[in-house]
């Protein structure tokens, strides 16, 4: 009878640890995304203007009020960075 209680106790402890671990992971991901979003909003106006000027020189039309155009801008910047890495 004593071994059955030990088995139940350890099984409950393992389940509890998994439960805490899963919610800890979810919480940490939320915190990370919160700070990432916060830093994305802190892009300086001069840096944003420089990005716009760089892309308009490449023939990309930019209207900062539309989300799809912002996404296209980000995608273009990522592609440019990848090209720079592969050429090095």
Q: Please write the tens of the pLDDT for every residue from 63-86.
A: 556 677 778 888 888 888 888 878
Q: Are residues 29 and 3 in the same domain?
A: yes
Residue 12 confidence class, pLDDT cut points 50, 70, 90: very high
Q: Domain span at residue 8? A: 1-42
Residue 88 confidence class, pLDDT cut points 50, 70, 90: low
Q: Are residues 38 and 6 in the same domain?
A: yes
Q: Are residues 14 and 50 in the same domain?
A: no
Full-model pTM: 0.36
In the predicted model, is pLDDT for residue 38 greater than 60? yes
Report, as an integer, the average pLDDT of 23-27: 88
Of the candidates 49, 58, 53, the one whose C-alpha atom is nearest the C-alpha of residue 79 is 58
Q: Are residues 51 and 17 in the same domain?
A: no
Q: What is the CA radius of gyration of the chain?
A: 24
In the predicted model, is pLDDT for residue 11 greater than 80? yes
Number of folded domains in the chain?
Answer: 2
Q: Are 55 and 76 in contact (CB under 8 A)?
A: yes
CA distance 83 to 3: 63
């Amino acid at each position: 009878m004593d071994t059955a209680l030990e088995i139940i106790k350890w099984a409950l402890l393992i389940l509890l640890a998994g439960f805490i671990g899963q919610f800890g992971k979810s919480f940490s991901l939320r915190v990370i995304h919160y700070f990432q979003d916060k830093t994305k909003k802190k892009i300086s106006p001069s840096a944003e203007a420089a990005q716009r000027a760089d892309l308009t020189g490449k023939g990309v039309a930019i209207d900062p009020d539309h989300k799809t155009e912002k996404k296209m801008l980000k995608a273009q910047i990522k592609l440019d960075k990848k090209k720079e890495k592969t050429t090095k």
